[in-house]
Amino acid sequence: MPYLFTSESVSEGHPDKVADQISDALIDNFLAFDPNSKVACETLVTTGQVVLAGEVKSKAYLDVQEIARGVIRKIGYTKSEYMFEANSCGVFSAIHEQSSDINQGVDKKKKEEQGAGDQGMMFGYATNETEDYMPLALDLAHKILLELAALRRENKQIKYLRPDAKSQVTLEYDDKNRPVRIDAIVVSTQHDDFDTEAKMQDKIQKDIISILIPRVKAKYKKYAKLFNDGIKYHINPTGKFVIGGPHGDTGLTGRKIIVDTYGGKGAHGGGAFSGKDPSKVDRSAAYATRHIAKNLVAAGLCDEVLVQVSYAIGVAQPTSIYVNTYGTAKVKLSDGEIAKRVSKLFDMRPYFIEQRLKLRTPIYSETAAYGHMGRKPEVVTKTFKTPDGKEKNVKVELFTWEKLDHVAKVKKEFGLK
């Protein structure tokens, strides 16, 4: 029976994402100057104020206030009327040293025996309904906001946009679990003040439908067939959205974990990613399970898969590995038997995850908006500054967990052609 499924995304200017980006910028700077840094940094943003709190063990010394301001500036909060502005906002740091009680469970004499930074369960998911093996509704929601941000920065076709925005996409699926059309699109975007609310509503509605949506269709042609004349559009449905960003809502690190992952598809273990170094398996193991799931689907083992791993704090070996192919497996094995073979192919001890995915490098700022999963792996050079102005260039590989570098191994293990 046909059904509807919905996912949402939020822009880089959303207050929770501002917090995520600041936390991950701090992670990157610590790792750039000390790859062995242990960091758990939370950020709170509100009207005219940033609060940094967390635990750090590192040889690096940073100007955390300037790093936070740089992130805010890059996002686009550069005008006083936003009531949250890069140069004038207060930045309060309450970052302190990491507990030795926690650290003794992570650091071991042999690196290979590195324990998990916390207990818990992490999930990875993949589906073949898109080319990047991501759920389609979330992928579309991200693409809409990426294009909206591009329009804001261009400041040509639409000149009133402000940084805060949200999107939501509802898809109709057929009896065979395939997406067939877009049923509804929601876009709420912060904007400059207008003369009248009626004029504002009419202008924004027209621009989103006649400028933004055609750009999305043109740029992502593989999705064009899903757009139709019957789509229900809800554009700024509450009306006026001048007050936004951290002035409109307080933002906190780690509150958009479903946006960060699979938009409600699959499952989530509950742990946030941003602000955590890779010894925290909330982050590293979630990336590792995505890496497994994507390679399993890309190898043709199944059409859709959920992979779970769990840990005890301070213990290297996972307490469990679980696989659910939702009945789409192409091999005559149970999901439990598939899980056993997966555990042989992918070493899920924390140290080996860090090494396999190159996680002790400053790669995290790029993850903090528009999703941690489904992104393009690429090699870039990033520049970091010390408090005294010295620069350090670091060549890094982004989104390593999205690489299809284990497809051949999966095919061999499962006898796939």
List of residues 6+ apart from 191 with CB closer than 8 A: 160, 161, 162, 200, 204, 236, 241, 242
pLDDT at position 101: 52
Q: 256 labelled as ligand-binding?
A: yes
Same structural domain, 193 and 294: no
Q: 74 labelled as ligand-binding?
A: no
Per the structure, how many domains does the chain have?
A: 2
Query: What residues form DSSP beta bridges with 385?
Result: 391
Has residue 385 got a pLDDT over 80? yes
Quick one: which of 45, 44, 46, 49 has its CA closest to 89? 49
Q: 241 labelled as ligand-binding?
A: yes
Query: What residues form DSSP beta bridges with 93?
Result: 52
Q: What is the strand order of the sheet 3-10 is part of?
A: 3-10, 161-173, 179-191, 232-235
- Give CA–CA dist 266/347, Å, rounded: 22
pLDDT at position 99: 63
Q: 108 labelled as ligand-binding?
A: no
Q: Looking at the domain assignment, is residue 98 inside a domain?
A: no
Has residue 352 got a pLDDT over 80? yes
Q: Looking at the domain assignment, is residue 213 inside a domain?
A: yes
Q: 339 labelled as ligand-binding?
A: no
Whether the Cβ atoms of residue 373 and residue 402 lie closer than 8 Å to each other:
yes
What is the per-residue DSSP string for 301-350? Answer: S-SEEEEEEEE-BT-SS-SEEEEE-TT--SSSS-HHHHHHHHHHHS--SH
Q: Give the residue-averaged pLDDT of 44-64.
A: 96
- Give CA–CA dist 209/233, Å, rounded: 8
| The model's pTM | 0.96
Q: 16 labelled as ligand-binding?
A: yes
The secondary element (H helix, E strand) that includes residue 166 is: strand 161-173
What is the per-residue DSSP string for 269-280? Answer: -S---TTB-TTS
- Give CA–CA dist 197/217, Å, rounded: 29
Pairing of the two strands 320-324 and 161-173: unpaired
Same structural domain, 215 and 360: no
Q: How confident is the model at residue 113 (pLDDT cuts 50, 70, 90)?
A: confident
At 137-148, the pLDDT tens digits run: 999 999 999 999
Has residue 300 got a pLDDT over 60? yes
Quick one: which of 269, 301, 302, 275 has its CA closest to 288? 269
Same structural domain, 189 and 222: yes
Q: 107 labelled as ligand-binding?
A: no
Q: 118 labelled as ligand-binding?
A: no
Q: 181 labelled as ligand-binding?
A: no
Q: 68 labelled as ligand-binding?
A: no
User: Which residue range(s) make up the domain with 139?
Assistant: 3-11+135-245
Same structural domain, 124 and 142: no
- Give CA–CA dist 74/407, Å, rounded: 37
Q: Rounded mean pLDDT of the chain? A: 95
Quick one: which of 310, 407, 386 has its CA closest to 34? 386
At 7-46, the pLDDT tens digits run: 999 999 999 999 999 999 999 999 999 999 999 999 999 9
What is the per-residue DSSP string for 173-215? Answer: E-TTS-EEEEEEEEEEEEE---S-HHHHHHHHHHHIIIIIHHH
Task: Give the gyration radius of the chain's Cα atoms.
Answer: 22
Same structural domain, 237 and 155: yes
Q: 84 labelled as ligand-binding?
A: no
Q: 42 labelled as ligand-binding?
A: yes
CATH classification of the domain holding 290 = 3.30.300.10
Q: How confident is the model at residue 105 (pLDDT cuts 50, 70, 90)?
A: low
Same structural domain, 336 and 396: yes
For the chain, percent of residues with pLDDT exceeding 70: 97
Has residue 110 got a pLDDT over 60? yes
Q: 276 labelled as ligand-binding?
A: yes
Q: 24 labelled as ligand-binding?
A: no
- Give CA–CA dist 263/354, Å, rounded: 25
Same structural domain, 7 and 145: yes
Same structural domain, 275 and 389: yes
Same structural domain, 291 and 186: no
Q: Enter the DSSP assignment of 376.
A: P
